[in-house]
Amino acid sequence: MAAVLEERPVDTTGKKLAVTAGEIKLEHVCKTYGKGPFAKDVIKDCSFLIERSKLTVMIGPSGCGKSSLIRLIAGFESPTSGKITLNGKPVTHPGRDRLVVFQESALFPWMTTYDNIMYGPRARGEDNQKTRDLANFLLDKVGLTAFRDKYPTQLSGGMQRRAELARAMINNPEVMVLDEPFRGLDAMSKELMWEYYAKLFEESHRTNFFVTTDIDEAVYLADRLLIMTNTPMQVRAVIEVDVPRPRSLSSFFTSDRANDVKMQALSLLHEEAMKSFSGGSKAAADFVEAYAKRKNATAAE
């Protein structure tokens, strides 16, 4: 059963939003695309838990199968074998209980920020005082109250991502799934997004599953870090990021534990990249080069 965690204030008039947190379990999940001589194993015997009320981050080499796994969890595709359950019930199709925020903007360009956020409730015939209060509450939470009536093209990249977070959260999913949502943002906007997003999580403790290729993002955000292998993708290691919350970005990376986790994760990812580097992967070669630069920079500090 999903747990109703806590009543959260929606606005100053005292209305409440119940945050419901679910749990997703993957057991021996495999995914093969194509048939016969064209068959390609992308996910192989993948088992892990997306724990209730925790922020689980999955990091793996580029092209290892992360987006394929998200499509299975979202219910857009089915595993070739193995089982995925939400609160013990098999995932068989897409549902409001598992909303995915993708790396590409999904905002409707002809709608204002407010209308984009209200899209879900309106589609369900729930344009009422409660959802309107909630939309305004979320606008405030993501720092977009002043941009309520602007269209997506009038917002910066970071603002668009924040609007997307609000648009997903208004539907109160039991699990929020995020596929590299901050990819492509410049470094400063990205850090700002991490802080917004971490705060939103810390205030709600909704179950979140966040997928990335960015090591700093992964370590800063995660309660649990899943390090994945190259294709066919499996869980290589699970690291508990036992750094207390709320986390301040300015002090986080000076913490010994955060740096230990980062070095441990980097070294595992480096091993995975080396495997596909020897197999001739361009993405792996880029990672190996970036890793060497980062290691030298850390040594120089």
Footprint of ligand ATP (CB under 6 A): 33-34, 40, 42, 60, 62-68, 213, 231
| In the complex, least distance from residue 141 CB atom to ligand ATP, rounded to whole angstroms | 28
| In the complex, least distance from residue 211 CB atom to ligand ATP, rounded to whole angstroms | 7
230 Cα distance to chain centroid: 19
| In the complex, least distance from residue 95 CB atom to ligand ATP, rounded to whole angstroms | 21
Q: Which is nearer to ligand ATP, 80 or 259 (CB)?
A: 80
Torsional class of 69: left (φ above 0), alpha (ψ -120 to 50), beta (otherwise)? alpha
Q: Which is nearer to ligand ATP, 138 or 233 (CB)?
A: 233
Q: Which is nearer to ligand ATP, 33 or 196 (CB)?
A: 33
Spell out the residues 6+ positions from residue 21 whose beta carbon is closer than 8 angstroms to its own: 2, 3, 5, 52, 53, 174, 175, 205, 206, 207
**Secondary structure E strands in the chain:** 3-9, 16-21, 24-33, 40-50, 55-59, 81-86, 89-90, 98-101, 175-179, 207-212, 224-228, 235-240
| In the complex, least distance from residue 46 CB atom to ligand ATP, rounded to whole angstroms | 12
Q: Which is nearer to ligand ATP, 211 or 258 (CB)?
A: 211
| In the complex, least distance from residue 55 CB atom to ligand ATP, rounded to whole angstroms | 19
| In the complex, least distance from residue 92 CB atom to ligand ATP, rounded to whole angstroms | 19
252 Cα distance to chain centroid: 20
Q: Which is nearer to ligand ATP, 134 or 225 (CB)?
A: 225
DSSP character at residue 91 = P
Q: Which is nearer to ligand ATP, 174 or 180 (CB)?
A: 180
Spell out the residues 6+ positions from residue 22 whose beta carbon is closer than 8 angstroms to its own: 2, 52, 86, 87, 97, 98, 174, 175, 207
